[in-house]
Amino acid sequence: MAPAARVDRFEVFFDLVFVFSFFIITRTTAQEISGGALLHALLVLAVLWWTWVLHSVVATRVRLGEGFVPVLMTIGMAALFTFALSLPQAFRDVRGAAGPIVAAISYIVVRLVHVLLLLHSVRDNPNERRPLMRFAPELAASTLLLLAAALIPPALHGSAAAPIVRDGLWAAVVLLQYTSGQLISSSGWGIASAEHWTERYDLILIIALGESVISVGVGSNLLGQPPTGPAVAAAVLGIFFTAALWWAHYDMIGPAARIALHAAQGKPRLTMARDAYAYCYLPMIAGIILFALGAEAIVTQITNLHVSNWEPAHGPAAPLLFGGVFLYLVGNMLFQLRTLRTLSWTRVGTLGLLAICPPLVGRLPALATLALLTVICVGMVAAEVVIFSEGRTALRELIFEERVTHEAHEAAYRARWHEPNEPDEGE
């Protein structure tokens, strides 16, 4: 892949299945929010995210929209779609249920597609094949553990140990995958293009934020409710604080991290790409799903015509809302620390506010709870715009200079397309 290669259009098409997967996780958890349901959601998300990480590794080595590759990727998409469809049943205590088996088999198919594509990418270079084969033990163990999680609990049907065994096996999969990612030599990751890698992760985070907006709108039945003042206010506040979270990453941290990854070379680039993007993005994605669940519950209450607008948020809605944003910012701070080796005191202060809010909002009306979170998020962004204005301006100038240089290079390369044809001899 060329050093400046951008994300392939087929990659974005493939991401639509991940959008559906995020939506399924949110919808399944929202049906009955409990400690067990949240645990299952996070376990599934971690396994799904590792699949996406490996998919991004594949995409740095293979152009997914060329040759026979789209055929294999379509098979992978179908398997991933089936995996997402089976997730609501993956943790059900129903004897003989097909959901866990379907989830395990479809997961195996997705991973085999990745293996085939990676082997294809290094078919002419045995030296590159060896580092990739270090993923083989993790692949074999993960698939065996998921199969065990599908087959053993039904055999223990009626026993109190069945759900513990099932959850323990899923947790073992997560532990194995993320531990092996750290133990495997960084050469196995193979980041051929820093531009492609960063753009890939920027897009999936935007997709997750967008899915949270859709989830709140659909799950809370905003479309099926009359446009009352509280409902409109709740929708606007939801957009505002989600936009603030987008701004928190993409205004300065994301662009600066992209430059830092470009500047790094060799092993430091590989380890930064692995640690910051593959690992630190996971709590950010998890935080998005959690605050989407909390926002959906609060908006559902606000739009309920049979519930007073002055009632506080019910159940775990407020803790999920504030806790999700807290987790998102923690992941973003870890990302900033790993890529830029800095921490923003504005983020630390915001985390402190978010931590003390859930116990204090128990008596606030639901709409006021949503408004308080919005004020905190928007206030953090506004404070950073003012306080870090010089650094922000310098970063913008650097990015603008980079774009101008890139456009000039592109224009010079394409100038030959516009050169007049040489006249034939004798004319």
Higher pLDDT, 168 or 116: 168
Q: To the nearest whole number, what is the mean pLDDT of the chain?
A: 84
| Span 47-62, pLDDT tens digits | 999 988 888 888 877 7
How far is residue 330 from each of residues 43, 282, 356, 374, 408, measured CA to CA in Å? 19, 11, 15, 18, 39
* Average pLDDT over every residue of 409-423: 71
pLDDT number for residue 186 = 56
Question: Rounded mean pLDDT of 119-124?
Answer: 72
330-356: pLDDT as tens digits: 999 999 999 999 999 999 999 999 999
Q: What is the distance between the terminal CA atoms of the chain, rounded to a whole angstrom?
A: 43
Q: Is there a contact between 60 and 190 (Cβ–Cβ < 8 Å)? A: yes
Distance CA 165, CA 162 (A): 5
- Give the pLDDT confidence score for residue 161 in this predicted structure: 83
CA atoms within 13 A on the CB side of 9: 1
Q: Which domains does the chain have, with CATH numbers?
A: 1-190 (no CATH), 193-415 (1.20.1410)
Q: What does the pLDDT average to over 222-242?
A: 82
* Over residues 258-273, mean pLDDT: 89
Using one digit for the tens of pLDDT, what is the confidence trace for 61-103? 777 667 778 888 889 889 988 888 887 777 865 555 677 888 8
- What pLDDT score was predicted for residue 422? 53
User: Helix/strand/coil (H, E, C) string of 248-287?
Assistant: HHHCCHHHHHHHHHHHCCHHHHHHHHHHHHHHCHHHHHHH
Rounded CA-CA distance 368/353 in Å is 16
Task: Record the tokens describing residue 96, joined without a space.
Answer: 């003989």
pLDDT of residue 205: 92
Give pLDDT tens digits for 170-199.
999 999 999 988 876 555 556 777 888 899
Question: Burial level of 413, CB count in 10 A (0-12/13-18/19+)?
Answer: exposed
Q: List the one residue out of 172, 175, 191, 171 whose CA is nearest residue 183.
A: 175
Give the number of other Cβ atoms within 10 Å of residue 191's Cβ: 23
pLDDT at 174: 94
Averaging pLDDT over each range in 215-219, 273-277, 311-315, which range is the top one?
273-277
User: What average pLDDT does the segment 153-160 reach?
Assistant: 76
What is the model's pLDDT at position 23?
A: 85
Q: What span, in angstroms and rounded, lies between the C-alpha atoms of 206 and 201?
A: 9
Q: Describe the crossing of helices 366-387 and 317-340 by its angle, rounded to 10 degrees.
A: 20
Banded model confidence at residue 124, pLDDT cuts 50, 70, 90: low
pLDDT confidence of residue 4: 47
Share of the chain above pLDDT 70, in %: 88
* Tokens matching residue 265: 């070379």
Tokens of 58: 């594949």
Closest CA to 344 of 258, 270, 272, 251: 251
